[in-house]
Amino acid sequence: MSRTMSLLIALVLLAAGALAQSVPDENANPRGNKLPSSDDLRLKVVEIANVERLHPVIDRLFGRDVIVVDQGSARTVHNLMLLGDRLLIHDLPDRVDHIRQGIVMLDEQTRDEPVAERVVQQEIRLEHVSIKEALEALGPLARTVQEGPNQPNVTPMVGRNLLFIRDREAQIAEMRRIIAIIDRPQPQVMIRCRILKGCTDDADGADARLAQLIPAGLRELTRLPHFEVLAAGAIRSTTAAATDIEMQMSGEAGLSAQLRMTTAGYSDDTRTLRLGRIEFAFLGGLGPDRGGRQQHTLRTATTLADGEVVAIGALGEDPIFVILEMNLIDG
């Protein structure tokens, strides 16, 4: 039998003994009145080491409502009241002595036992990482706190980029340690996009040097030595995960393009940025004379390395190529 169970049984027996030794009618008093008055009750203050932990047990064993009559008016008084780290007993004299004995015994038996750590509430403000990244990092520590309102220990406050934490202090300290590791300034990059089209040597804007931006395998398919830039754009962005990047580009003859990307993570070791979502839309003619206004789209994902060029796709019968280049920004 556990120590706690033995202690509770002993207290129950003590409480039963106290009731048995009292007069048949609990509300009787020395003057013979049916119900006691305030003068018949006795006050006793008892100091308890583990008051918050023991108070519910004590109240269940000894707590009761006493009906008191003063000047013909009846009122109900609870016999136990918590005052800081002390317990106020307000009852008939015999009951006060027995309750005090039970409290003293219980307090002595539990003084050497560790006191359960309290559940507290704190906020963690995120400076550089997203709510999504923080929740993923704290995933192993996520749980439902049973004390008080039954709710998760981590609640995101998206609009304010805050995490509302409700848990024990040791658990919150571990969460803060994890957030401190990941919530650091993220590297900044410059992402350039070029929309290229193969052309003959004598075409306007033809440039043999642009062919170097096209992967060798794709150049073999086109068999065109020269390319021209139809539209281009550049944007500065953070490498933090779940960052949405949008770029608008335009060219001659009403040509327009839109590029949308979402970052999926950055590696300091390889200096690479993963793009988990790329959506490209191109509005313009892609035939030899670029006549008509047709919309062409592509969806893909890729990884960009610092200083390297990647072709994310080709569109149209006479293909245009969508080229991305990323460069880290120092400082």
- 176 and 239 in a single domain? The answer is no
Q: Which of 175, 170, 169, 174 is nearest to 154 (CA)?
A: 175
Q: pLDDT tens for residues 22-54?
A: 433 444 444 444 578 888 888 888 887 766 677
In single-letter form, the type of residue at position 326 comes to M
- 194 and 297 in a single domain? The answer is yes
| Better-scored residue on pLDDT, 24 or 298 | 298
Contact (CB, 8 A) for 89 and 101: no
Which residue matches tokens 């979402």?
Answer: 262
- 261 and 129 in a single domain? The answer is no
- 258 and 148 in a single domain? The answer is no
- 155 and 45 in a single domain? The answer is no
Out of 156, 182, 208, pick the residue that ends a domain.
182
Q: Which residues on adjacent β-strands are paired with residue 300?
A: 278
State phi, psi for 161 to the nearest 5 degrees: 55, 45
Residue-averaged pLDDT of the chain: 78
Range of the domain at 69: 3-110
Rounded to an integer, the average pLDDT of 195-219 is: 64
Residues whose CB is less than 8 angstroms from the CB of residue 229 and which lie 6 or more positions away in sequence, other chains included: 194, 195, 196, 205, 207, 210
pLDDT of residue 175: 94
Please work out, in degrees rounded to the nearest 5, the angle formed at the alpha carbon of residue 95 by the alpha carbons of 92 and 96.
Answer: 80
Cα 271 versus chain centre, distance: 28
Out of 140, 161, 182, pick the residue that ends a domain.
182
pLDDT of residue 12: 47
Q: Is the pLDDT score of 5 beyond 80? A: no
- 325 and 192 in a single domain? The answer is yes
Q: 39 exposed, middle or buried (CB, 10 Å; 0-12, 13-18, 19+)?
A: exposed
- 177 and 249 in a single domain? The answer is no
DSSP state of 57: H
Q: What CATH number is attached to the domain comprising 63? A: 3.30.1370.120
Beta-strand (E) ranges in 41-128? Answer: 42-47, 65-70, 73-78, 80-83, 86-91, 119-125
- 220 and 321 in a single domain? The answer is yes
Count of CB atoms situated within 10 Å of the CB of 4: 12
- 224 and 125 in a single domain? The answer is no
pLDDT of residue 319: 73
Domain count across the chain:
3
State phi, psi for 253 to the nearest 5 degrees: 55, 35
| Residue 319: HSE in the Cβ half-sphere, 13 Å Cα cutoff | 17
Q: Which residues on adjacent β-strands are paired with residue 323?
A: 194, 311
Q: pLDDT tens for residues 215-263?
A: 665 655 566 667 788 889 999 998 988 889 999 998 876 788 999 999 9
